[in-house]
Structures are given as structure tokens and as C-alpha cells.
Amino acid sequence: MRAVVFDRFGESATVQDIATPTPTPHGVVVRVEATGLCRSDWHGWQGHDPDITLPHVPGHELAGVVEATGGAVTAWRPGDRVTVPFVCACGTCPACASGDQQVCERQTQPGFTHWGSFAQYVALDHADVNLVALPDELSYGTAAALGCRFATAFRAVVVQGRVAPGEWVAVHGCGGVGLSAVMIAAASGARVIAVDVSLRALDLAREFGAVECVDASAGPDTAAAIRDLTGGGAHLSLDALGSPATCAASVNSLRRRGRHIQVGLLPSPEGTTPVPMARAIALELELLGSHGMAAHAYPGMLELVRAGVLRPDLLVTSTISLDAAPAALAAMGTAPGGGVTVIEPWS
């Protein structure tokens, strides 16, 4: 099969012919019809993820068709249209037993713990626990945006963030996950403020329901701007980018007893990120992480998609071939762009 491969962190990836994977007893091989290009893939390519060994095939947001199944798989057969969370759970650890597969103790992640979906085929573990059936009317390109960014944003806003109608919600960083959060919060009846340095991203945020936008390139104190716009601060704020600056701005933009959700990854050479904890103590803020969404939680989200309440299809702003993927991956560090880019490995 053809796949995007990199042999050294931070150096150019190439499209190569490599062996097609085979399923494990509890796993499947999926023919990849579409796979999203995510900033997490860029972090992996940069060497920010300790699970990656070289050479490596990135890619963790995918949709496609089951090609082959292992002998222990009971719920799936070749030809089934599927997607999968980026966290593939084991199904048997204490976290999984409590329903928290998104923080499985023995999780695997395509594109990180093993070769991923920037390829024509990808192997996935524990298929009966992790695969999600796709409605016939949902395109592969739209479904590819669900497994990481949209599902992550859905759980971050609705479950971890406990968004309520009428609340002010600030979203710092309007890439794929941030725009998803804007759309989901607005559909939940919240008043959304979008923050980004890209005017194109802010225009998309307005289209998806943001009532206010803050251009972070125009000044350093975005938190003060949000506190002014909301008359005291946001009830809920999300760092959807992942940087010390956006994390601090999110916490500082909250009103008393507000809720900060960290969604974007925070790689740091020191291994830690400074957080304004004095404000968290004085205002009794909640600081929470959000890490994907378990497969069993997808039906509620998919029903909102089917009903047209949520429109992840509108987030897909670019579709590229596998040959264009290496350059697009490298560009994520300096020009991530607005919306979601989808790779079609067979085009």
C-alpha cells in the first residue's frame, strides 16, 4: 500500500510503498477512504509524543470500510462503513469498566502508538470496543473529522464543560477543534466568543455561531477583552490550541467559579506549563482536561449530526491527495489554516 512515512522527527515525510497491515485476533484492517490532517499529527512529527518510534506513519482521524477482521471479532465484517475514536481502548481495564474508555489504561492510538491512517489501509485494535458504525448519509470526509477534533470538542463542551444555554463560552484557537467547539457551544444555546490570530478562522467562527470575535494578533491581553465583552468573564473557556499563552489567557478570561477546559496539547521542554493558579484559587475556578470521547458515546452526537443540529461537514474546507500530505503536515506548524483538511488516500 501507499503511505506517508517519516524517518526522522521534523524532517520531510515522503509517500512510500510499504506492506499492507494484517489484523490482530481482536482487531480489523480498515480501507481508509478519508483521514483528517490534525495539529496532533504535527506534534507527533515534531517528536513531541514519546510513544512514537521511527520510521512512522502518522494519522489518527479516519473513516473507511472494514477490509479484514481478526478471528475474535464478532460485531464487524468486511464491507462495514466505520469510524473510530483516536483512543482505541482495551475494553477490560478499570477505566474501561467504568465507561471511561477515552482514558483507557492500555489504550492504543493509530498514528502514535502504531502506524496510522495517512495510508491506504490501517490496523485498529479491539474492534468490538472501538469501531463506530457510520450512517449511510454521512460522507467519509465528514466522518473523518469526527474521531479527534469534533468528538473531542463535543465531550469538552457538553460533558466536561457542562455548557448551559445563555452562558458565555470563550474558545481560544479556531482550528478544527476550536471551530467544532464554537459550533457545538452555539448549538447548545451559549453565547460564544472566538479568539484567534487568523481573520479567516474568525470569519469561519462567525459562520458557525460565534457572537463575538477577538483578534489575538491585535494585542496581547485577549483575556481582558473577553472580560470586557462578557461583563466579568466567560462561564466556560477552552484552550483549543495548546500553548502556554492560550492556556493562561483561557484561565484569565474566566469569571468567578468559571470552568477552564484544556483541549490542545501542551508540549513543553520542561515538561510542565505555567498556569495562573493564584487566580484559580481566588476565583474558585475549575481546571479540567478533556481527552477524546469513547465509542459508546458517539450515538448521541451522531443523532444531532443526522438531525442537522450539528454540521461537521461545514468544517471540511480542503481535500487533498496522499501525495500532498507531507507538505501540508509540515505547514501545520506555521500556517495551520482554518477548518479541517481531509486526505483521500486513494485519489
Q: Write out 42-76 in H/E/C secondary structure.
A: HHHHHCCCCCCCCCECCCCEEEEEEEEECCCCCCC
Task: Check residue 39 and give its pLDDT.
Answer: 84
- What does the pLDDT read at residue 332? 86
Does residue 337 carry a pLDDT above 70? Answer: no
67 pLDDT higher than 70: yes
- The helix (H) or strand (E) run that includes residue 122 is strand 121-124
| Nearest alpha-carbon partner for 89 in 4, 27, 162, 172 | 27
pLDDT in tens, 153-210: 999 999 999 999 999 999 999 988 999 999 999 999 999 999 999 999 999 999 999 9
Find the length of the chain. Answer: 347
Q: Report d(CA 12, CA 84) in Å as an integer.
A: 28
Dist CA 216 CA 113 (whole Å): 35
CA distances, 343 to each of 129, 158, 206 (Å): 26, 28, 26
What's the whole-number average pLDDT of the chain? 94
**Can you read off the three cell numbers belonging to residue 294?**
469513547
Report the SS3 class of residue 2: strand
What value does the mean pLDDT take over residues 144-160? 93
Averaged pLDDT for residues 288-317 = 94
Whether 336 has a pLDDT exceeding 70, the answer reads no
Q: Cβ distance 29 to 19 under 8 Å? A: no
Average pLDDT over residues 274-296: 96
Share of the chain above pLDDT 90, in %: 88
Residue 80: band (very low, low, confident or very high) from pLDDT cuts 50, 70, 90:
very high
Q: Quick one: which of 245, 232, 110, 65 has its CA closest to 172? A: 245
Q: Which residue has the higher pLDDT, 243 or 26?
A: 26
Angle between helices 222-230 and 244-252 (to 10 degrees): 30
User: Which pTM value belongs to this model?
Assistant: 0.93
Q: Which of 17-21, 47-51, 53-57 has the lowest mean pLDDT?
A: 47-51
